[in-house]
Amino acid sequence: MPTLKDVVKPFVPRELWDKIPRSFDIIGSRSGAVAIIEIPPELEDYKVLIGEAIIKLNRNVRAVLRRVGAREGEFRLYKYEVLVPGPTEVIHKEDNYLIRVDPTKAYFSPRDQGDREDIARQVMPGEVVLYPFAGVGPYAIAILKRQPLTRLVIAIELNEYAYNYMLSNIKLNKLEGRILPLHGDAARLMDLFHNVDRVLLTLPLGAHRFLRQALTCVRKGGIVHFYHLGVEEDPFYEAEGIVKNYCGELGLDCIIINRRIVRDYAPHVYKVRLDIRVA
Ligand SMILES: C[S@@+](CC[C@H](N)C(=O)[O-])C[C@H]1O[C@@H](n2cnc3c(N)ncnc32)[C@H](O)[C@@H]1O
C-alpha cells in the first residue's frame, strides 16, 4: 500500500520531500470519513494535490481539511481550510461504539481512544460518574459500553452543537437513561452534584479552574481524573503542584494513585492525567 509521501513525491521538488506529512487523522468509518492534516507553509502550492492524494489512498474519505493553528476558545475547536470539499459530519467507529460528530463544530479526537479505554477499565459496577466537559460524549459511551453496570454518567457540555451530537450519540449507542446530558456551564452545574464516585476533568487547558469543585463533588474514597499540560523535562510537576495546593486548601487527604502521559499536545508539551483518590 503506497503512503501519502509515495503518491505526492513525484509532483514536489526534492528539497521539500522531508516536509511531506507522514500522518493525518481520519474521523469516520466506511459510511464516510473526513481527513484532517497539518501542512507546513513550504507546501502551500501542493496543498490541494495532497488533499486529493489522501482521497485516492482512502476510499472512505469524502472531505479533506487542513488544520490551521492551535485549538481555540472555550469550545476547543481548530480552524480549518478546506482542501477537498465534502460532508464533514461523520459517524466514527471506535471499539464497540459509534460517535456522530462534525469536527468543525464540536471537539473530538480519535487520538484519545487509548485514554478512554484506560478510564473505562477503572470504573466499577454501581458508580455515578460526573463528566463536566463532555463534548459529544465519547468517554461516557466508552465507560457504559465497557462497564454496563455503571449507575449513571452525568455529562455536562457548553457548546450547543456538541451537546446535540451527544444526544444523538446516546440514541445511536442505545444508552438512553444511562447518561444524564446537561447543556450549560460546568462552573454552575457541577455544584448540583455531591458524593459522586468519580469526576472526569477532560479539559487539559483549564481543568485546574474546576478542580476545587471536583474535589468537593466527589465522595470520600472517590477518584478525580485531572488533565493538564506538562513540559517534556518534568511532565507532572505543575499538575502535582496544583493538586497539592487545592487539597491542602480544602483540608483533604489526596493521594495521586496514577500518573499518565496521555499523548503529545504540542512540540515538547504533553497532555497528562493524574488520578487522585480523595481520602
Ligand atoms: C477538550 S474538549 C473534551 C470533550 C470530550 N470530553 C472528548 O474527549 O471528546 C472540552 C469540552 O469542554 C467544553 N467546555 C469548555 N468549557 C466548558 C464549561 N465551562 N462548561 C461545560 N463545558 C465546557 C468544550 O466545549 C469542549 O467540548
272 and 149 belong to one structural domain: yes
pLDDT at residue number 185: 98
Asked, for residue 167, whether it belongs to a domain, the answer is: yes
Domains identified in the chain, total number = 2
Instruction: Give the Cα separation of 155 and 183 in Å (integer).
Output: 9
Asked, for residue 198, whether it belongs to a domain, the answer is: yes
Write the burial class of residue 149 (CB in 10 Å: 0-12 exposed, 13-18 middle, 19+ buried).
exposed
Instruction: Give the Cα separation of 121 and 124 in Å (integer).
Output: 8
Distance 135 CA to ligand 1 centre (A): 5
Residue with CA closest to ligand 1 atom 9? 108
Question: What is the CATH number for 242?
Answer: 3.40.50.150
The answer, yes or no, to whether residue 261 has pLDDT greater than 90, is: yes
With a Cβ cut-off of 6 Å, ligand 1 is lined by 74-76, 107-108, 112, 132-135, 138-139, 156-159, 162, 185-187, 202-203
120 and 252 belong to one structural domain: yes
Instruction: Give the Cα separation of 4 and 9 in Å (integer).
Output: 8
70 and 122 belong to one structural domain: no
pTM: 0.96
| pLDDT tens digits along 33-76 | 999 999 999 999 999 999 999 999 999 999 999 999 999 999 99
Q: Among 193, 203, 229, which residue has the most ligand 1 atoms within 8 Å of its CB, making it the best to mutate?
A: 203
Instruction: Give the Cα separation of 200 and 216 in Å (integer).
Output: 13
Q: What are the DSSP E strand ranges found in 85-217?
A: 90-94, 97-101, 128-131, 152-157, 179-183, 196-201
Mean pLDDT score, 148-157: 98
The better pLDDT of the pair 279, 104 is held by: 104
Instruction: Give the Cα separation of 20 and 8 in Å (integer).
Output: 8
Residue with CA closest to ligand 1 atom 17? 158
Structural domain containing residue 121: 107-278
47 and 116 belong to one structural domain: no
Instruction: Give the Cα separation of 61 and 57 in Å (integer).
Output: 9
